[in-house]
Amino acid sequence: MAQGSLLYHGRIQLSDTDRPCYETLVLSTPQHPSEKPERLVLRLLAYALLYEPGLAFRKGGLSQGDAPDLAVQDQSGHILHWIDVGTPALNRLQKAARHTSRVSVVTHDGLLLRWKRQHGNKLPDFTGQVISLSRELVEPLARSLPRRFEWQLTISGSILYLDTTDLSLSSPIERPG
C-alpha cells in the first residue's frame, strides 16, 4: 500500500439476475492520496458489475502506472480481462487490446460526456465495452463512503440497485457504442 493511502474494506451482497451471478464479495483496496473518491467508487462498482472468479484490484494502487485498474489473470500472469475506470487514454486502451481480448471501461454519464468531447463527440475507437452508470449513483456514494462498508447490490433488467446503511440508489447500466 502506498504511503498515505487509505484502506477501504467492503462486503457486497451481489445479486445479478442479468448474468446470473449471486455472490458475497469481500474486498479491500487502497485509495491513493491522489485518487478522487469518485474514482474509488467507480473501481468498487466495476468490481461488482464485472465480477468473475480471479478478479483483483491493481496491486500497489494507482502508483503502478501501466497495470489495469482491475484484472482477471491466468496462473501464468497473462491478463484475461483488462478493466479500467473513468476516462482512460486511447493509447492505454489500445495497449490493453494488444494484451487481451476482453477490455472493459466503467464510467459514469458525466465523465462519458467529457470523454466523448475529447474524441470529437464520439467514444475512442477501441476493441472493448464501455459501461456507464449515472452520476446520481456515483457522486452520493463518493461523498458518503466509509472506510468499512456494506452494500446490497442488485442488477436486474440493466438497472443497478444499491442499498447502503444510509442510501438507497439506482442507475441504468448503459452500454454506449
* Domain range summary for the chain, segments of one domain joined by +: 6-172
CA distance 151 to 53: 19
pLDDT at 62: 58
Q: Find out if CATH 3.10.640.10 is the number for domain 6-172.
A: yes
Q: Name the grid cell of 7.
A: 484502506
- Categorize the per-residue pLDDT at 64 as very low, low, confident or very high, splitting at 50, 70 and 90: low
Give ∠ CA 35-59-129 in degrees, rounded to 5.
75
Helix (H) / strand (E) element for 38: namely helix 37-49
Is it the case that residue 1 has pLDDT exceeding 70?
no
pLDDT at 177: 74
pLDDT tens digits along 78-118: 999 999 999 998 888 888 988 898 999 999 999 999 998 88
Q: How far is residue 96 CA from its own chain's centroid?
A: 16
Distances (CA, A) of 100 to 1, 38, 41, 131, 167: 26, 27, 25, 18, 37
- Categorize the per-residue pLDDT at 15 as very low, low, confident or very high, splitting at 50, 70 and 90: very high
pLDDT at 123: 81
- Categorize the per-residue pLDDT at 127 as very low, low, confident or very high, splitting at 50, 70 and 90: confident
- Categorize the per-residue pLDDT at 5 as very low, low, confident or very high, splitting at 50, 70 and 90: confident
What would the mean pLDDT of 151-169 be, rounded to a whole number?
A: 97
Within 13 Å of residue 13, how many CA atoms lie on the same side as its CB?
A: 8
What burial class does residue 2 get, using C-beta atoms within 10 Å of its C-beta: 0-12 exposed, 13-18 middle, 19+ buried?
A: middle
Mean pLDDT of the chain, nearest integer: 92
